[in-house]
Structure 1
Amino acid sequence: MSTDFVAYSVCTSALVCVTFTFDDWKRHRSSNRYLYHLKTLSESGIVRGIAAPVLFVTAFTAGMTLLYVVAALNVAHAARMLPAWLPPLPNIAIEPIQLTSIALSLLLHMLTGVRHESSETPPKPRHPRLLTCRRFPCAPLSLPVLFYDMEKVFRTNASYSRWDEGRRSFGSITTVSRDIARQAFAWFRTDDMTNRSRLGRWLVALGRVTMVHLREEHGMQEELKGVLKPQEIDAVTSSIHAPSFCLQMITWTIRTAGLPQELVIRMDENVSRLTDAVSACERILNTPIPLSYTRHTARFLMAWLVCLPFCLWSYCGLAMVPIAALVAFVLLGIEEIGVYIEEPFSILALEKLVNKLENIVNAMLRESQWQTQSFALHILFVGPFPVSV
């Protein structure tokens, strides 16, 4: 397993959706949720995912703060506002480092408007307002925000639409499978337990195989163990497209059950719905939102966050470090959520949906056996059911 996949799994493990119960909805609406979410902030998968870029922005802002402080001290020393024992910024005479000293002097001049000069004669006193570094206009950072907000809303809505469609598509697999089981257990011959149990196995196998097909961390052998027979598992694993093989086996079981043609057609319509649902899941998995949106948003956001400290210093001073970190946390968090829900199958609770399908199909199979036995005993001891005219 690759290192990138391990890191991705760690980040998404806390994002896996759960199927809510009534108690879960009560906790979800509780007024204590604010404090609870703050208390569990360190366990958030979003926080883990954006930790690296937020730390980068914070470190860059801290470096800019240090540079601004050095520039302010340089101006104060030039204006004789600091004690005489505090030395000015030195000009190192070593040639390779002299270029760096020149670049630093130019950068300080850009930030403060004061050129650093090395001279044994102290410069004339300057006005105290020179301690305020040169203020950069905020308009260049404010104008693109409107367009970024529009693009962010579009991308977030598109990601949520993909998440919702993925949930509906996989939910259709479980729902239609239950409907096929209902039809089969009602229409198959009462003594045809072979086809009944075979169809139930392959319906459950279809859900598990599709889950494995849509994810990377699951193994086909482990998921099908206890569901299919060993030779059936070998047939699935050796097939080119495992979900299509399961659909083919479901169709073959229906065809060999000896049903009337009209009932076969009705069940085959449900099998076609299963095929459409599997294809919809594959389309969502294989076709992301156009990469230009994701790349351009990430590039603009990082460039904007890097330029933000130049405008914050005049208003916030040393407080711009936590402010920049908070702004980066909020904006990068929204971007990270959009990226996560763009591929829904890694965070949807597919295991619970598949386990629920297996429990329901097995329960329906047991109930159909009980109903068959009860029907036979009623005919044996009581007689046939009366037919109303």
Structure 2
Amino acid sequence: MAALSPAAAQPVPEQTESDAYTRYELLAPGSGKFRILYDVTATTPGARFYFNPIRKGSIATDERVIDSRTGKPLPFEVVSGDVARANGLPRAEADGEYIRVALARPVPVDGEGRIRIDKTYEDAKSYLAVGDSITFTRSLGIRRNAIVLPPGYEPVSVNYPSQLLQEADGRIKLSFWNVGPAAVPLVVEARRVGKTALPAAKLPAEVAKRLQERASQSREIVYYLRDPDTHAFDLTHDYTETRPGVGVYTNIVRTGSRVSDPSARDLDTGEALRTEVLKGVAIEQAGGEAPGADANTEAVLFHFNAPAAGESRRLRIAETYTDTERYRREGDTLIWDRSFGRPVNAMVLPAGWTLTNSSVPATISQQPDGRVRLDFINPRTDEIAVLITATRKPL
């Protein structure tokens, strides 16, 4: 009997990723060195590796990679562009170098593989020092970024709107969301004001609470609108828990809304999570967080394996809400009138409806099934009141 020919090798799916955040810590002026902490999520189902390019013109040292779920180191190696191109990066440059990270577990279907890459770059063209002044010039294509100045330096010029926040050790941090489609040609100029870091301010709790970095927040919400006559919409909410010992996420139901069909899963493992809907004192008795709750307060509790110190959990929560006031139809017009408090929010119109107004700027795209999607990024720390109208498509 003739031997069977081996099956043709299956093409490797193209690498996909999300939720990238980069922190640049400028090291000693004159060294041209800066530390990079790069948080990124691999999203290709089944992927066992993630490839990160080493930018040309930069010398990379002190690399290490950790699994964000467990905080444990991951094995990695530097490979050529040819290797990267054959393993999910079709546009990898042949003469480029890439860090290939072995993920702790295959990426679950519709799940994630979260990692942190820690490395130091030396690049004198990007990080200059002249006298008591320094300049950091770099094209940043990642949406969420932070630049931390060396101890004892203050910013004198920043060309992209940024939060200015002081670290616990006194260093000044500049943080921003890139809300456009192109890379930010960032230029930061700073000067020395002392030989040591500026003293960290001791702020009242209510003041410190308002000075939270927006770009590092990773909550994402997507609303899928049902027919407006139902006043109902489905939503998914991605949330990361980093507090050691906390194994319950509490979602307080907004006044005027009704919740149904809650579910959740761990995005790192694909594991389904236990949920329950409770009211009043039962919320905190079950381990939830509901300060000031009364007998009418309703909450959905999602239970998961609490992280230990240095670990984190990434959850995807799904619910259906009914809200007669904020989502309705008047005549032939769909009306959505609801505030968003998270930095990343998206809304998908029902099938058969055409967008006619959006009070807040959004990027617009079309789902594979033809529905219209609006994505809102709010880089500020306050809420945005989003008013949307739509009309039925003519037959």
TM-score (norm 1): 0.21
| Larger relative contact order (CA 8 Å, sep ≥ 6) | 1
TM-score (norm 2): 0.21
Higher strand share: 2
Higher helix share: 1
